[in-house]
Amino acid sequence: MAELRVPDRFKSGIARVADLTQDGFDQLLAALKKAPSFKDVRELLAWIGSETPSVGKADLELMMNALVPMFRVQRDSDVSATVFASDVSDSIGPLPERDLFTSRISLLIEESALDLVSSRIADAKQEVERNFCKLRILTDLRPAFPAERGTLPTDMAVIHNFQIGYHDGTGKHQEFYVSLDALDLEKLKKAIALAEERASTLESMLEKSGIRLHR
């Protein structure tokens, strides 16, 4: 696999794994082994918290928020959990007990309790070329000047500039602008209403089939 880069927001949580006492680590691993399937990290934390009295709540939250995405990345890679854990260690930097850290990480990310529904849904949503992240509408007046220079305009148009932000396939934020007038807004309203109607129909179908819908 390509050189692994651990996002900075996960590094402190991953490093906590090396700092756990042996008793704390054993409790965490045992809890993950017998944990049922959960929807998201919040549910997983609520359950594991009662099973790991030797692990602080704040440390547990940091570790789970880092380990859950690591589980998905390792499953999508072409390397074993051991090699992946070693790559994680290299990405974080020098550790006082590197072998212990690598061994612990490789054991933890083998546990299917980290395969949360919310993570699978997030992956499914992101498997597109561009992911929408924000929208801003800038409305202004555009004067229509007569051909004769120096003549004041007697007519104007209202223009809505849509600033659409998205993340590309590399995760980089990008933006582009689209201008719309009143007629375009009506088209957009109708398109949104149609999309909502179709979503409602699909939701009813899924409910009858017993499949859960995630928004």
CB burial class (10 A; 0-12, 13-18, 19+) of residue 73?
Answer: middle
Q: Are residues 105 and 139 in the same domain?
A: no
Q: Provide the pLDDT for residue 121.
A: 63
Q: Are residues 117 and 142 in the same domain?
A: no
Q: Are residues 148 and 120 in the same domain?
A: no
Q: Are residues 112 and 159 in the same domain?
A: no
Residue 214 domain flag: no
Token pair listed for 86: 């070693």
Tell me which of 80, 104, 125 is where a domain ends: 125
Tell me which of 125, 154, 187 is where a domain ends: 125
DSSP calls for the chain? -PPP---HHHHHHHHHHHHS-HHHHHHHHHHHHH----SSHHHHHHHHHTT-TTS-HHHHHHHHHHHHHHHHHHHHSSS-HHHHHHHHHHHH---TTHHHHHHHHHHHTT-GGG--HHHHHHHHHH-SS-EEEEEEEEEEEEEE--SSTTPPP-EEEEEEEEEEEEE-TTS-EEEEEEEE-HHHHHHHHHHHHHHHHHHHHHHHHHHHHTPPP--
Gap between the Cα atoms of 75 and 109, Å rounded: 9
Gap between the Cα atoms of 20 and 13, Å rounded: 11
Q: Are residues 120 and 14 in the same domain?
A: yes
Q: Are residues 147 and 168 in the same domain?
A: yes
pTM given for the model: 0.61
Going from the C-alpha of 61 to that of each of 22, 83, 115, 118, 161, the distances in angstroms are: 18, 25, 16, 16, 41
Write out the chain's pLDDT in tens, 215 residues: 446 777 788 888 888 898 899 999 999 999 999 998 888 888 899 999 999 999 999 999 999 998 988 888 888 787 899 999 888 888 887 777 888 989 999 999 999 888 887 766 665 566 667 878 899 999 999 898 888 888 888 889 999 999 999 888 666 889 999 999 999 999 999 999 999 998 888 888 888 887 776 66
Q: Are residues 115 and 19 in the same domain?
A: yes
Q: Are residues 17 and 117 in the same domain?
A: yes
Q: Are residues 72 and 115 in the same domain?
A: yes
Residue 164 domain flag: yes
Tell me which of 97, 125, 153 is where a domain ends: 125
Residue 161 domain flag: yes
Domain count along the chain: 2
What domain range is 167 assigned to?
Answer: 131-209
Q: Are residues 27 and 54 in the same domain?
A: yes
Q: Are residues 32 and 118 in the same domain?
A: yes
Token pair listed for 3: 């050189």
